[in-house]
């Protein structure tokens, strides 16, 4: 029987692996699996709530590496993961996304001669100041199977000299999770609890170092959000990193901006899917808003998901306060309904194609 080791470490990983785990379970008797949680995100708000919301089983193995610098975290995962591989001897190590755990697991697997499959391969921001970009590049050149979400990802890999036989476009597995959880999310009481009306509020998420680690940048973003909040309430679930910086910098937070603790997947899905506008520096949220037709302003100078701009509802605005206010005002003034748009193969069946590719490439 084919044996697959699925490795996750952070919230975006959980969202992407959930439908893959479910599809492997559906093929019980044909494929077996072990879920390995590195512990990169390890507390209740960053980990367990997402496992519960997504219906993920308790990980068979938890490495419990915790936080640290990029180098420390990557090294800890490598040290802890190596004996797991020696013991488990899987046919495939499946890594998802671009976090430190993804790179660490891929490095160890490649060195020990285990085949690596990378889900969400080929994404490029072309900005090597982003730690995630370094992770993406290295993992893609280590992997034996590159499972891509879009045609631009295919082209990026071919341009880098990757063997086309290794590249398989499977679609966007995050949309699998989104579709499966929409009905569940409709049962969330988050809007009622916050006394919000559908399309009557703005949602914000920020967590990247470029957005929150510089005091001037963070102050400017919060000042821009204060202007937008004069038009419509701004709801801001705050990542632990961002919360630390807001306190450290004593950043002024307008009364129109409601700070919340991190939300579980289901509550957050209900929140942003009912919003008028999303402002974010997240990668996955660019894709999710596109799939449901929610206008999105990305507070970055680049994106590894250009299809969300060329075919979706996303717009890059950077961190300049004046531009954020101008584009935010423009979005709020646009009363035309946005139709959901699904790029090719964003159809809710990516996990099926992923598992099929793992099986067919094992023969």
Quick one: pLDDT band at residue 43, thresholds 50, 70, 90? low
More confident residue, 43 or 37: 37
> What number is the average pLDDT over the span 282-292?
95
Residues 6+ apart with CB under 8 A from 298: 279, 280, 281, 286, 314, 315, 316, 317
CA torsion 339-22-135-360 (nearest 10°) is: -100
Contacts 24+ apart (CB under 8 A), 62-68: 62/36, 62/37, 63/36, 63/37, 63/38, 63/39, 64/39, 65/38, 65/39, 65/40, 65/101, 66/39, 66/40, 66/42, 67/40, 67/42
Residue (of 90, 91, 117, 129) closest to 17 by Cα position: 117
11-26 and 350-360 are packed helices; what angle lies between their axes, rounded to 10 degrees? 70
Same domain, 141 and 195: no
Same domain, 155 and 247: no
Residue (of 49, 74, 52, 71) closest to 63 by Cα position: 74
Q: Tell me the Cα Rg of the chain.
A: 20
Residue (of 280, 281, 278) closest to 331 by Cα position: 278
Quick one: pLDDT band at residue 41, thresholds 50, 70, 90? low
Could you tell me if residue 183 is inside a domain? no
Same domain, 80 and 164: yes
Same domain, 198 and 297: yes
Angle of CA points 27, 54, 78, to nearest 5°: 80
Same domain, 327 and 353: no
Annotated catalytic residue within 141, 207, 341, 349: 207
pLDDT tens digits for range 143-191: 999 999 999 999 999 999 999 999 999 999 999 999 999 999 999 999 9
Residue 207 is a catalytic residue? yes
pLDDT tens digits for range 187-238: 999 999 999 999 999 999 999 999 999 999 999 999 999 999 999 999 999 9
Same domain, 74 and 193: no
pLDDT at position 291: 94
pLDDT of 45 > 80? The answer is: no
Quick one: pLDDT band at residue 341, thresholds 50, 70, 90? confident
Could you tell me if residue 28 is inside a domain? yes
In this structure, is the dihedral angle defined by the CA atoms of residues 242, 248, 254 and 256, taken in order, positive or negative?
A: positive
pLDDT at position 69: 85
Residue 27 phi/psi, 5-degree rounding, is -95, 30
Could you tell me if residue 184 is inside a domain? no
Q: What is the CATH number of the domain that holds 318?
A: 3.40.50.2000
Q: Which of 43-57, 59-73, 238-252, 344-358 is predicted least confidently?
A: 43-57
Residue (of 53, 20, 61) closest to 37 by Cα position: 61
**What total of structural domains would you count in the chain?**
2
pLDDT at position 5: 98
Q: How many CA atoms lie within 13 A of 283 on its CB side?
A: 23
284-292 and 265-273 are packed helices; what angle lies between their axes, rounded to 10 degrees? 50
pLDDT tens digits for range 3-25: 999 999 988 999 999 999 999 99
Same domain, 314 and 356: no
Q: Strand, helix or coil at 6?
A: strand
CB atoms within 10 A of CB 330: 12
What proportion of the chain, given as a percentage, has pLDDT over 70? 97
Same domain, 37 and 101: yes
Look up the domain containing 295 and give its range.
189-333
Same domain, 111 and 230: no
């Amino acid at each position: 029987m084919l044996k697959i080791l699925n490795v996750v470490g952070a919230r975006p990983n959980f969202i992407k692996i959930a439908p893959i785990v479910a599809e492997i379970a559906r093929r019980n008797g044909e494929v077996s699996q072990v879920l390995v949680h590195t512990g990169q995100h390890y507390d209740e708000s960053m980990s367990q709530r997402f496992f519960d919301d997504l219906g993920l089983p308790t990980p068979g193995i938890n490495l419990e590496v915790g936080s640290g610098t990029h180098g420390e975290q990557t090294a800890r995962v490598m040290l802890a993961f190596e004996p797991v591989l020696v013991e488990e001897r899987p046919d495939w190590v499946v890594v998802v996304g671009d976090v430190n755990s993804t790179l660490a697991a891929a490095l160890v697997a490649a060195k020990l001669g285990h085949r690596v499959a990378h889900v969400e391969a080929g994404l490029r921001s072309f900005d090597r100041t982003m730690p995630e970009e370094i992770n993406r590049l290295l993992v893609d050149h280590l992997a034996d199977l590159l499972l891509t979400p879009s045609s631009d990802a295919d082209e990026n890999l071919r341009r880098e000299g990757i063997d086309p036989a290794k590249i398989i476009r499977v679609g966007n597995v995050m949309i699998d999770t989104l579709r499966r959880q929409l009905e569940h999310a409709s049962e969330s009481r988050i809007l009622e609890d916050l006394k919000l009306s559908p399309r009557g509020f703005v949602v914000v998420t920020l967590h990247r170092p470029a957005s929150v680690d510089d005091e001037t940048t963070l102050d400017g973003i919060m000042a821009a959000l204060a202007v937008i909040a004069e038009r419509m309430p701004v709801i801001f679930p705050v990542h632990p990193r961002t919360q630390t910086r807001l306190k450290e910098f004593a950043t002024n937070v307008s009364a129109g901006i409601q700070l919340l603790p991190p939300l579980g997947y289901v509550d957050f899905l209900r929140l942003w899917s009912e919003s008028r506008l999303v402002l974010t520096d997240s990668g996955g949220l660019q894709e999710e808003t596109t799939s449901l037709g929610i206008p999105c302003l990305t507070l970055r100078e680049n994106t590894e998901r250009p299809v969300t701009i060329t075919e979706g509802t996303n717009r890059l605005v950077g961190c300049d306060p004046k531009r954020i206010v101008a584009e935010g005002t423009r979005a709020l003034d646009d009363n035309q309904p946005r139709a959901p748009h699904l790029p090719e193969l964003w159809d809710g069946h990516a996990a099926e194609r992923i598992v099929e590719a793992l099986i067919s490439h094992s023969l």
